[in-house]
Amino acid sequence: MRFRDLNCLLLMLVGGAAAADLPDLFKRSDYQDPPGASLRFIQDAPIVVVGSVTAVQEIGRARGATQDRELLIQLTLISLNVETVIRGDIPSGKFDFHYYTFSNQNRIDLARRFVPRVGDRRVFFIQAFNGGHRSVGDVTDYTIAVKSGFHSRDFCLGEPLGNCISRILLTPGKVYDSEAYALNLRKATSTAELIGSGELAFQLLQQLSKSTDPKVAAAAQRVLRGELTR
């Protein structure tokens, strides 16, 4: 057996063991909560990191959620390349955690679902469980998309959690897509206002409005004028 095949087998065995005793955290209230309400979990997460998804591995078979048996959920092992550690004592580099995701076998729809994709950069909110790690919530989106590029491990170190995330969302880092960042700027600003402070978000937007990147500067100016809605 090749080394790579052995690694895959070990991953399946470890994942299968985790599936046997990992309860899902999906809540019926996630259906009704208005956008942004699920951000309440942020302050209580013991581990908060920015990372890029490097692998997505389904573990076992889909099953019904505890609070809604008609909703099929899939235990998924997500591998990250950890870039910035906002809270918690974990090393940069490879990091794995579990997340029950919305199964593609569902016959029902759930608009606000999280679908992990390789290459996505996000803020993840994680907790320890049974010797491993898992997301603080399942199925719906317990993450925040980061379109601003790469930031160093200690970026905004020591700042309050909400302010740190706001700076990451509204401060361009290295290697970012100008168009994607500009299109997401209204949403990033709304998130920053919700979890940080309106004053800080305004200051960061003012700085962005003077950016040497014309797409970002123009988008920031439109947000400041209240013209962007997405």
| Residue 229 predicted with pLDDT over 80 | no
Please state the rounded mean pLDDT for residues 174-182.
95
- What integer is the mean pLDDT of 183-207? 94
pLDDT for residue 91 is more than 60: yes
pLDDT, mean of residues 197-222 = 95
Query: Residue 4: its pLDDT value, please?
Result: 45
pLDDT value at residue 39: 67
Helix crossing, 185-195 with 161-170: angle to 10°? 170
Q: Is 80 exceeded by the pLDDT of residue 228?
A: no
pLDDT in the model for residue 38: 53
Span(s) in the chain for CATH 2.40.50: 1-145
Please tell me the distance from the alpha carbon of residue 191 to that of residue 189, in angstroms, as a whole number: 5
Mean pLDDT score, 214-219:
96
User: What confidence tens digit (pLDDT) does each residue in 25-68 have?
Assistant: 998 777 665 555 556 778 889 999 999 999 999 999 999 999 98
Per-residue pLDDT at 19 exceeds 70: no
- Mean of pLDDT values over 85-94: 87
Q: What value does the mean pLDDT of the chain take?
A: 87
pLDDT at 5 exceeding the cut of 90 = no
Does 163 score more than 70 pLDDT? Answer: yes
pTM value?
Answer: 0.87
- Asked if residue 20 has pLDDT above 90, the reply is no
Tell me, what's the pLDDT at 139? 92
Q: Report in angstroms the alpha-carbon separations of 138 from 70, 142, 229.
A: 15, 7, 28
Q: What's residue 230's pLDDT?
A: 47
The pair phi, psi for residue 5, each rounded to 5°, is: -65, -35
Q: Which CATH code, of 2.60.40, 2.40.50, 3.30.70, 3.10.310, is assigned to 1-145?
A: 2.40.50
Residue 119 has pLDDT above 50, yes or no: yes
Region 182-190: what's the mean pLDDT?
95
Looking at 86-95, 99-108, 160-169, which range is the least confident one? 86-95
